Amino acid sequence: MGKILVHALCGVSFDAAEGELLTIFGPSGSGKSTLLNLMGGLDRPDEGEIFIDGENILKLGDDKLAELRLTKIGFVFQFFNLLPRLTALRNVKLPLSIAGLAEKEASERAREMLRIVGLEARIDHRPSELSGGEQQRVAMARALINNPKIVLADEPTGNLDTKTGWEIIQLMKRLNEEKGQTFLVVTHDPQIAEVADRTIHLKDGLIEQIKEAQKGKSK
Amino acid sequence: MKLSRISNVAWESMTQRKLRTSLTILSVVIGITAIIGLASLGEGFRLEMRERMQSGFELDNLTLIPGSLFAGLSRERFYDYDVKNISRVSGVKAVTPVMQVGNVTLYNEKNNKTVQAFVATAVNFTEFVEIFPDRFVFENDTQPAEYGDDTIVIGHKVNYPTENDTTPFAIANDTVTVTLQILNQTHIPPFYELNYNFTVGGTLRKTGTSGITNFDYWIFIPLKTARRIYDTEESDLIFVKVYNPEDSETVADQIEALFPLYKVTILVPLTFIKQVDSVLGTVQIFLMAIASISLLVAGVGIMNIMTVSVMERTREIGILKAIGAKSRTVLSMFLMEAALIGIIGGLIGIFAGYGLSYALAYALTGFVQPQNQNTVFQNPEAQPITINPVFSLTWTTMAFVFAVVVCIIFGLYPARKAAKLDPVKALRYE
């Protein structure tokens, strides 16, 4: 049995402006997550170019890519991906620890970040003691702790009920507006997609259309 | 990521899986305990043996046997000019020839007792005493006033043939009749038997075996008298005393050079001791090598456990990589775990090893008793063997380094496996 080459993405080309909230919308299997992984430097395309801050990240070595993820990119996942044995505070601190920041300063910053996402009362809880929404807030705090240029969120509401999902997306929007960080959110929920400044519609690895948000539509 | 952070993280993940970590550490502990225990006890045993042999052998004495041990049937003898030549070799302090006659019977008319002696040795008493001052020692510290032509000195076992004998066969100044076998020219029986009367000069204290000689079973008569009886100028053995035991091997070489090839065999106690010492050393290294295998087995166990651990933590590794941990950081986290297992296991093993060897030494002290007190070659004065474990900083350090290195080497494969994980696949791993 030979391997069959599948083009997950083909001819996808777009720009995201600094401070923009962009959603990537499409049904499952359309290549959304692959696109996000490529932009985050977790995966490499067979062909193409990806520029972050004017730098072609595909020319970076693995170590440089890791550094890029550490300093310029924050990830939020559908399944939160927190380390189960660490408290909320330690989870948020993790990127700072990897960066080699002093413990005390890292703790202070993590505490502040948890306050921003509204979890100051839960800092010593482990993920298993937190609700889904709370876990996602911790994950957001972790993504933002290093003050990244870009936050990549892969179905951040996909594992939450509608109300909690909406709260999370509103939190993202608030942070986007307050801190001016670029947010790229993958979703298959049309309601969530509409919150964005722009929505890229993906289908079968191709861009179907790019929709600008109409003024006043975002709530 | 800083090394201190990495070791913190490694330590945390180890304490998360306490049972697994303890068992892995235990396997290292067992290996190191075995190595340290064997090294420490083995060295103690070797030192004890060396000390025993040094006290059991008179290191400054050489024994010359005529002929070669290769040519067992040769009928070589020594002559007086041999003795003279040997006395000129530098490093030789004293030299004396002796004649030996086997199976002599002694009869004491006073108490009507008869005893057998294993060997009658004809010696020059004044020279002989100089060579064996520690063994040619008289009972009750009595010394004959002078050695006459008819003086006989009786060994302890000849004087008291069985353990139950409380009264001696003879005491000083008794007259005993010695029956000597006179060989004919062909050395084939029948022999003549002749009786001679000797005056007892003294009886010897029990001294036991030293090297190949045991005076307890011997009687001593003057060489001059024996030569007259047997009408010969030849001698059967030559004893040489050297000034410095360390030189005994070079002196032996010089003496050997005085004789034609295969005409003399020289027993050098130092050589024998060195050989036994080196054999014991080899055995010790061999035992330690076997013990080291258990550490390798522990290493394989570590590899196995860590590979499982990497699989279990695939998602965690994916998360770490996604948020910016370098492959090198992941690698060092796992290697640090392996190293910590080695460090902890090694330290515990060192303590356990020395603990074990001291406990064993304590338990075994007096347990190993010399057997068969009454054989010719057994030293009756032998003490129970006591083994004192030896602490060696070199071995301790080496065993510790070995433990850590083995752990790191076996941890390398799983650690590399973890470092090489593709973050996208790792994040998707359930």
Write down the domain spans for chain B.
3-57+273-428, 61-243
Measured between beta carbons, which residues in chain B are less than 8 angstroms from residue A147? none
pTM: 0.75
Strand B237-242 versus strand B92-108 pairing type = antiparallel
The verdict on residue A4 lying in a domain is no
Distance, in Å, from the CA atom of B358 to the CA atom of B352, rounded to the nearest integer, reads: 10
Phi and psi, residue B132, nearest 5°? -120, 60
Q: Which of residues 152-211 of A touch B (CB under 8 A)?
A: none
A62/B326 touch (CB, cutoff 8 Å), yes or no: yes
Nearest to B324 among A66, A77, A85 (CB): A66
CB contact under 8 A, B1 and A100: yes
* A125 in any annotated domain: yes
Nearest-angstrom CA–CA distance, A147 and A70:
10
Tell me the nearest-neighbour CA distance from A99 into chain B, angstroms: 6
Mean pLDDT within A22-31: 86
**pLDDT tens digits, residue range A171-197?**
889 888 888 889 999 988 888 888 888
> By CB neighbour count within 10 A (0-12 exposed, 13-18 middle, 19+ buried), where does B413 fall?
middle
Exposed (0-12), middle (13-18) or buried (19+): which is B384, by Cβ within 10 Å?
Answer: exposed
B313 CB near a chain A CB, below 8 Å?
Answer: no
Query: What is the number of residues in chain B?
Result: 430
Q: Which residues of B203-221 are buried (b: 16+ CB within 10 A; e: fewer)?
A: bbbbbbbbbebbbbbbbbb
The answer to whether B30 and B349 are in contact (CB under 8 A) is yes
pLDDT of A73: 92
Contact yes or no for B169/B204 (Cβ under 8 A): no
Taking only the tens of pLDDT, chain B with its 430 residues reads 778 888 888 888 888 889 999 999 999 999 999 999 999 998 898 888 888 877 777 888 999 988 876 555 556 789 999 999 999 999 999 999 999 888 789 999 998 999 988 889 999 999 999 999 888 989 887 778 889 899 999 999 899 888 777 888 998 889 999 998 876 666 666 677 889 999 999 999 888 777 678 888 899 999 999 999 888 888 989 999 999 988 999 999 999 999 887 788 898 988 888 888 899 999 988 988 998 998 899 999 999 999 999 999 999 999 999 999 999 999 999 999 999 999 999 999 999 999 999 998 888 776 665 554 455 444 545 566 778 888 989 989 999 999 999 999 999 999 999 999 999 889 888 7
Parallel/antiparallel/unpaired status of strands B61-66 and A73-76 = unpaired
Question: What is the pLDDT confidence band of residue A217, given thresholds at 50, 70 and 90?
Answer: very low
Distance in angstroms (rounded) separating the CA atoms of residues B121 and B176? 16
Distance of CA B380 to the CA centre of its chain: 18
Residue position matching structure tokens 């002694």: B106
Cα separation, B192 vs B184, whole angstroms: 8
- Search chain B and give the residue with CA nearest A100: B1
Distance (Å) from the alpha carbon of A36 to chain B's nearest alpha carbon: 11
Q: Cβ of A41 under 8 Å from any chain B Cβ?
A: no
CATH number for the domain that contains residue A194: 3.40.50.300
Collect all residues with Cβ–Cβ distance below 8 Å to A3 and sequence separation of at least 6.
none
Q: Which of B13, B14, B309, B319 to mutate to test the interface with A (most CBs of A within 10 A)?
A: B319
Q: What is the pLDDT of residue A219?
A: 40
pLDDT at position B255: 93
- Using CB atoms, pick whichever of A43, A62, A69 lies closest to residue B323: A69
Tokens linked to A151 = 């936050």
Look at residue A7 and tell me if it is in a domain: no
Q: What does the alpha-carbon distance between residue B294 and residue B36 come to, in Å, rounded to a whole number?
A: 12
User: Chain B contacts of A82, Cβ < 8 Å?
Assistant: 319
Distance CA B430, CA B425 (A): 10
Number of domains in chain A: 1
- Closest approach of chain A CAs to the CA of B347, in angstroms? 28
A98:B324 CB<8 A: yes
Q: Residue B384: is the preceding peptide bond cis (ω within 30°)? A: no
In the prediction, which pLDDT does B67 show? Answer: 82
Which residues form the domain of A125? 21-43+56-212
Task: Give the pLDDT confidence of A72-127 residue by residue, as tens digits.
Answer: 999 999 888 999 888 999 999 999 988 888 889 999 999 999 998 888 898 899 99
- Kindly tell me if the per-residue pLDDT of A157 is higher than 80: yes
Q: What is the pLDDT of residue B250?
A: 93
In a domain, A174, yes or no: yes
| Partners of B328 in beta bridges | none
Is the Cβ–Cβ distance between A62 and B328 less than 8 Å? Answer: no
Spatial separation of the C-alpha atoms in residues B396 and A157, rounded to whole Å: 58
Question: Considering the domain boundaries, does residue A197 fall inside one?
Answer: yes
pLDDT of A198 above 60: yes
The span from the CA of A49 to the CA of A33, in Å, is 17
Torsion sign, CA atoms B143, B144, B150, B154: negative
Query: Measured between CB atoms, which of A37, A67, A71 is closest to B424?
Result: A37
By Cβ distance, the residue of B318, B326, B424 closest to A66 is B326
Give chain B as a 3 state SS string.
Answer: CCHHHHHHHHHHHHHHCHHHHHHHHHHHHHHHHHHHHHHHHHHHHHHHHHHHHHHHCCCCEEEEEECCCCCCCCCCCECHHHHHHHHHCCCEEEEEEEEEEEEEEEEECCCCEEEEEEEEEEECHHHHHHHCCCCCCEHHHCCCCCCCCCEEEECHHHHCCCCCCCCCCCCCCCEEEEEEEECCCCCCCCCEEEEEEEEEEEEECCCCEECCEEHHHEEEEEHHHHHHHHCCCCECEEEEEECCHHHHHHHHHHHHHHCCCCCEEEECHHHHHHHHHHHHHHHHHHHHHHHHHHHHHHHHHHHHHHHHHHHHCHHHHHHHHHCCCCHHHHHHHHHHHHHHHHHHHHHHHHHHHHHHHHHHHHHHCCCCCCCCCCCCCCCCCCCCCCCCCCCCHHHHHHHHHHHHHHHHHHHHHHHHHHHCCCHHHHHHCC
pLDDT of residue B368: 60
Residue A56 CA, chain-centre distance (Å), reads 20
